[in-house]
Amino acid sequence: MDTSQLLKGVLDLAVLAVLDRADGYGYEVVRGLRAAGLEDVGDASVYGTLRRLYNAGLLTSYVVPSEEGPHRKYYSLNSTGRERLRDTAKTWRAFAETMEGLVGAA
Amino acid sequence: MTGADDNPQAPTVQVAPGPVDEYLAGVRAALADLPAHEVSEILDDVRAHLADLTDELDGDPDFAALTARLGTPATYAAELRAAAGYPAPPAAAGPERRGGGTARLAVAGLVASTLFVTFGALVGRPEIVLFGALFTLLALPLLGRDGPQVSSVAALAPVRRFRAFHPGAGTAAGSVADFLASLQPAWWLARAFAAAVLLLAVFGFGGIAAALLTLVAAPLSVWIGHRTRRDRRWLWAVVPLNGLAAAVLLTMLFTVAFAAGGSTTYASPSAYQPGLWQDSERQIRDIRPVDSAGNPLTGVYLFDQDGVSIDVSGGSMCGSYDSKGLFFSDPAGPQHPYPRGTLEFDPTTGGCVLVPPAPLVVAVPSAAPTPRSQGIPAAPAPPRLPAPPVTDTPPPTSASPAPAVTAPAPPTG
């Protein structure tokens, strides 16, 4: 199965988890996801997800001048975002356990 | 890139402007239906993204390299749109959607304004007219932004369909459309007249001023007409005012029509005129019966087809005296046999005097088929021949049927 289908449901959680480790600008988040093993994630999907989470009030952003290029807009989890991360992570664990129980014998 | 412009420390050129700008333009076009500030922030992100990618792609990627890495701009935009939870792009082409909202608002304002102004003028309520004029304000955001052709309105699908519909030349619809179009200058003059009438009604000047004002308004109206053909933004002022002018002209038309209708009914006096009238134009004030030989008859009672007595006294100038009873027993009044004579107003006395029937010479038709008068064939009957040809038993006092023929005498009182 194409992992991109699975990714759609958990991309929010993945992005929140990456940003929970450290603030980051858009492409950093993309690289963080790839480094974690989600090679199939699309760049535009990550940028779109960041915009949606930001518009939903889960992220704050700040601009850092860069010596190498344009200013970088860094995203950071705020308290609402962290709360959302905990909730979603809980849901994910329960779901993953259920799925593991379901397919573990396969 | 833009970020570098206001940061002197940053190298000004990290990315070759060509492919990146091209890619950005493609993404921008694909997101054109989104709110402008949202698109602006997205494009900032994409610009930064492309700059980071450029580092990863070793400096100087061409458009193909960007597309190979990210997909086409449209694909990128669609993926971002889906992930960000924006609504799907409308099925129609992007350009129409830009400013579609303000264009629709402007058109709605135009329609509402025209309807209210016209209706208000028709019912004669200035406050409704002014209220309708406010609706044109809805078009201000559009008119401030669009050019003379009001392209965003022209791009609306219903407007495009309307403009694309041209009745074929030579067909009936085509010739009607051409004919109506040829009437436009006439309408320009008509609305100038309406404007003059309206201004004069508001400010209350006289008729001369109306004529002068029309002379001034006519060239102005024609100029506005030509101007509107070139600059469609004028439509938002012209169309409601056209409705106002049409309402004024319609109101005038109805007023004139009602006045004309009133005068025609007034001009037909027969329905209201008392007395007996011949063909509505000749009043019959007395009746002078003669027999078939032309001999004057007296003491004659006349009845119509229903047996109702015929009375000519109703139309008398002195009729009002009758109602007071002054001439109630007068020989010219009703219930008296013909000839009665006529009642004439006497200026010296202020009253009415009875003028007895004057001697009269009449021509009796030659072929009068009276069975009892066969013996008189001559057409010009000698009128004063007092030769009663037939005299049955005369019932002088009888008021009924048989034409009573008595000796020639002045009417009895």
- Residue A41: list chain B partners with CB under 8 A: none
Chain B residues 28-57 within an 8 A CB cutoff of chain A: 41-42, 44-49, 51-53, 55
Asked whether residue A34 carries a pLDDT value surpassing 70, the answer given is: yes
- Is B333 in contact with B285 (CB distance < 8 Å)? no
Give residue ranges of A with CB < 8 Å to any B CB: 11, 25-27, 42-52, 55, 65-73
In this prediction, residues B209-213 reach a mean pLDDT of 78
CB contacts < 8 A, A to B, total 96
Residue of B nearest to A43 (CA): B70
Q: Provide the shortest C-alpha distance from residue A105 to chain B (in Å).
A: 34
- Show the DSSP H helices in B57-183 as ranges: 63-70, 73-84, 94-97, 100-122, 126-134, 140-145, 151-154, 157-164, 172-182
Contact A73 B83 (CB under 8 A): no
- Residue A52: list chain B partners with CB under 8 A: 83-85
- Show the DSSP H helices in B32-72 as ranges: 36-56, 63-70
B24-60 per-position pLDDT tens digit: 988 998 898 888 888 998 998 898 888 888 877 777 7
Residue corresponding to tokens 């047996």: B307
- Residue B77: list chain A partners with CB under 8 A: 44
Asked whether residue B373 carries a pLDDT value surpassing 50, the answer given is: no
Mean pLDDT of chain A: 89
B11, B75, B83 ranked by CB distance to A49: nearest: B83
* Percentage of the residues of chain B whose pLDDT score is greater than 70: 68
Q: How far apart are CA A106 and CA A93, in angstroms?
A: 20
Contact A66 B53 (CB under 8 A): no
- Residue B10: list chain A partners with CB under 8 A: 65-70
Asked whether residue B76 carries a pLDDT value surpassing 80, the answer given is: yes
Residue of B nearest to A10 (CA): B83
Contact B45 A70 (CB under 8 A): no
A52-101 per-position pLDDT tens digit: 999 999 999 999 887 766 678 899 999 999 999 999 999 999 999 999 99
Asked whether residue B308 carries a pLDDT value surpassing 80, the answer given is: yes
DSSP annotation of B146? S
Whether B65 has its CB under 8 Å from any CB of chain A: the answer is no
- Is B224 in contact with B233 (CB distance < 8 Å)? no
DSSP annotation of B408? S
- Residue B11: list chain A partners with CB under 8 A: 68-69
